[in-house]
Structure 1
Amino acid sequence: AHPSLDSGYEEILDLVAIGTIADLMPMEDENRILVHRGMRVLNKRHRTALLPLLTAQNLLGKQISSTDISWQISPPINASGRMGRPSVALDLLLSENLGQAQLLTDELLSMNKERQRLGQEAWERILPISKDSFESTGSKMVIINDPEIARGITGVMANRLLRHYKAPALVIAPAEEGKISGSLRSNEPFHARDFLSNFEDLLLDYGGHACAGGFSAEAMVLEELLKRMHDRLDEMDCPEEASEEVVIDCTLPAAYMSPKMIEVVEFFEPYGEKNPPLVLHIEGAIIESIQRLSNKNGGPNHLKLTLAYGEYRWPALYWESGDRVGQEFDVGTQVNVAFRLGRNYFRNQESLQLVIIDLKTSESA
Structure 2
Amino acid sequence: MKISYKYELLSTDTLSEKEVVNKLLESRNITDITTFLNPINPAAIQIADFGYEKEIKTTLTLLEEIKQKDQTVVVYTDYDADGITGGTILWETLHLLGFKVMPYVPHRKMEGYGFSIRGIDTVKKEFDPTLIISVDHGISGREKIQYARNLGLHVIVTDHHLKPKHIPEDADAIFHIPVLSGSGVAYFFAKLIFEHFQKTTSKDINEKLTHNFQHDYLALAAIGTVADLVPLQGPSRSVVKYGLAAFASVNKIGLKQIMKDAGIDGKPITPYEIGFVIAPRINAIGRLEHAIDALRLLCTTSTTKAEELSFKIDDLNKTRQDLVKVAVQEAKEMVELITTEQGVLPNIIVLTSQSWHEGIIGLIAAKMVEEYHRPAIIMTSGDGIYKGSARSIPSFHITEFLQSMQELLLGAGGHKQAAGFSLEVGKLGLFLERVQKGAMELASSIDLEKVIEADIKMPIQRATMKLVEELEKLSPFGIGNPKPLFYTEGVLLDARLFGKGNEHIRLYVRDPEVKMNPIEILAFSHADIFPTLKPHMKLGVVYTLDKNIWMGKERLQAICNHIVVNA
TM-score (norm 1): 0.83
Report whether the alignment pairs 1:91 with 2:296.
Answer: yes
The offset of 1:284, in angstroms, is: 4.9
**CA deviation map 1:14-41 (0-9, x unaligned):** 1111111111222223222222222221
Taking the aligned partners of 2:344 and 2:530, their CA distance within structure 1 comes to 37
**CA deviation map 1:101-154 (0-9, x unaligned):** 233222212111111111122122222222355658973110001111111110
Taking the aligned partners of 1:287 and 1:72, their CA distance within structure 2 comes to 37
The offset of 1:288, in angstroms, is: 6.3
The offset of 1:283, in angstroms, is: 5.8
Q: Tell me, what secondary structure is at the counterpart of 2:559? A: strand
1:60 and 1:212, CA in 2 relative to 1: closer, same or farther beyond 3 A? same
Are the equivalent residues in 2 in contact too, given 1:206–1:213 (CA < 8 A)?
Answer: yes
- The answer for the alignment partner of 2:111 in structure 1 is none
- The answer for the alignment partner of 1:82 in structure 2 is 287
Are the equivalent residues in 2 in contact too, given 1:66–1:269 (CA < 8 A)?
Answer: no
Report whether the alignment pairs 1:204 with 2:401.
Answer: no
Are the equivalent residues in 1 in contact too, given 2:520–2:557 (CA < 8 A)?
Answer: yes
The offset of 1:65, in angstroms, is: 1.4
Taking the aligned partners of 1:308 and 1:56, their CA distance within structure 2 comes to 43
TM-score (norm 2): 0.55
Report whether the alignment pairs 1:145 with 2:352.
Answer: yes
- The answer for the alignment partner of 2:5 in structure 1 is none
- The answer for the alignment partner of 1:216 in structure 2 is 422
Report whether the alignment pairs 1:279 with 2:485.
Answer: yes
1:124 and 1:346, CA in 2 relative to 1: closer, same or farther beyond 3 A? farther
Among 231, 242, 246, the residue aligned to 2:449: 242
- The answer for the alignment partner of 2:471 in structure 1 is 265
Residue identity over aligned pairs, in percent, reads 25
- The answer for the alignment partner of 1:303 in structure 2 is 505
Among 239, 248, 252, the residue aligned to 1:47: 252
Report whether the alignment pairs 1:358 with 2:549.
Answer: no
Report whether the alignment pairs 1:160 with 2:367.
Answer: yes
Are the equivalent residues in 2 in contact too, given 1:316–1:354 (CA < 8 A)?
Answer: yes
Taking the aligned partners of 2:414 and 2:228, their CA distance within structure 1 comes to 9
The offset of 1:291, in angstroms, is: 3.7
Taking the aligned partners of 2:262 and 2:364, their CA distance within structure 1 comes to 23
Taking the aligned partners of 1:191 and 1:329, their CA distance within structure 2 comes to 42
1:195 and 1:291, CA in 2 relative to 1: closer, same or farther beyond 3 A? same
1:105 and 1:269, CA in 2 relative to 1: closer, same or farther beyond 3 A? same
1:74 and 1:347, CA in 2 relative to 1: closer, same or farther beyond 3 A? farther
Identify which range, 185-194 or 56-65, moves more after superposition: 56-65
Q: Which amino acid aligns with 1:155?
A: G
**CA deviation map 1:39-68 (0-9, x unaligned):** 221244443322233233332333221122
Taking the aligned partners of 2:479 and 2:453, their CA distance within structure 1 comes to 17
- The answer for the alignment partner of 2:395 in structure 1 is 189
Identify which range, 93-102 or 128-137, moves more after superposition: 128-137
- The answer for the alignment partner of 1:16 in structure 2 is 221
Q: Tell me, what secondary structure is at the counterpart of 2:307? A: helix
1:302 and 1:21, CA in 2 relative to 1: closer, same or farther beyond 3 A? same
Matches within 5 A, 1:33-44: 33-44=238-249
Taking the aligned partners of 2:314 and 2:244, their CA distance within structure 1 comes to 22
Are the equivalent residues in 1 in contact too, given 2:548–2:555 (CA < 8 A)?
Answer: yes
Among 524, 536, 545, the residue aligned to 1:341: 545
1:248 and 1:19, CA in 2 relative to 1: closer, same or farther beyond 3 A? same
Q: Which amino acid aligns with 1:259?
A: M
Taking the aligned partners of 1:46 and 1:304, their CA distance within structure 2 comes to 42
Larger radius of gyration: 2
Taking the aligned partners of 1:348 and 1:100, their CA distance within structure 2 comes to 37
The offset of 1:349, in angstroms, is: 8.7
Unpaired runs of 5+ in structure 2? 1-191, 197-209
Unpaired runs of 5+ in structure 1? none
Taking the aligned partners of 2:466 and 2:410, their CA distance within structure 1 comes to 53
Are the equivalent residues in 2 in contact too, given 1:35–1:270 (CA < 8 A)?
Answer: yes
**CA deviation map 1:193-214 (0-9, x unaligned):** 1011022122222110101000
- The answer for the alignment partner of 1:101 in structure 2 is 306
**CA deviation map 1:188-235 (0-9, x unaligned):** 211011011022122222110101000123333223222222233334
Q: How many residues align?
A: 355
**CA deviation map 1:285-339 (0-9, x unaligned):** 87667242246xxxx8223557789988876431222133342146x87865431
Q: Which amino acid aligns with 1:302?
A: H
RMSD value, Cα? 3.4
Q: Tell me, what secondary structure is at the counterpart of 2:408? A: coil
